[in-house]
C-alpha cells in the first residue's frame, strides 16, 4: 500500500486577480485608445469586456495602467458576446 506524504504541495497556477477596472485597447501604432473593462488578469492573459467587435485571433495592445506607457500585446483566444479571453503574446 502506498503512503501519501501530506507535506507535498501541489503546484497551482498563480491566483487570478480580479480587476474590474477600466483599461484601454488599441489596434495598430497610431490608433486612438478605446475603453474596455478587465474582469480578471493572470500572468498569461486576461478576461475583458468591450463594445468594440473583436474576432478570435485578432491582436491588439492592452494598457492596464494609464500612467504607464507600456502595453501588453494580446491575442483573442475566445469570445462570448462582448466578453473576450486574451493571452499575452511576445
pLDDT computed for residue 52 by the predictor: 85
Is residue 5 predicted with pLDDT exceeding 70?
no
* Contacts with 56 (C-beta within 8 Å, 6 or more apart), sequence order: 76, 77, 78, 79
**What are the chain's domains?**
17-88 (2.40.10.220)
pLDDT computed for residue 31 by the predictor: 67
pLDDT computed for residue 22 by the predictor: 83
Per DSSP, the three-state class of 56 is coil
Q: Calculate what percentage of the chain has a pLDDT beyond 90.
A: 34
Amino acid at each position: 500500500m502506498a503512503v501519501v506524504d501530506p507535506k507535498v504541495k501541489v503546484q497551482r497556477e498563480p491566483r487570478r486577480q480580479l480587476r474590474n477596472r477600466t483599461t484601454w485597447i488599441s489596434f495598430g501604432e497610431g490608433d486612438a485608445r478605446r475603453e474596455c473593462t478587465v474582469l480578471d488578469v493572470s500572468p498569461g492573459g486576461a478576461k475583458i469586456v468591450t463594445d468594440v467587435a473583436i474576432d478570435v485571433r485578432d491582436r491588439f495592445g492592452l494598457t492596464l495602467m494609464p500612467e504607464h506607457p507600456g502595453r501588453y500585446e494580446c491575442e483573442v483566444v475566445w469570445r462570448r458576446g462582448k466578453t473576450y479571453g486574451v493571452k499575452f503574446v511576445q
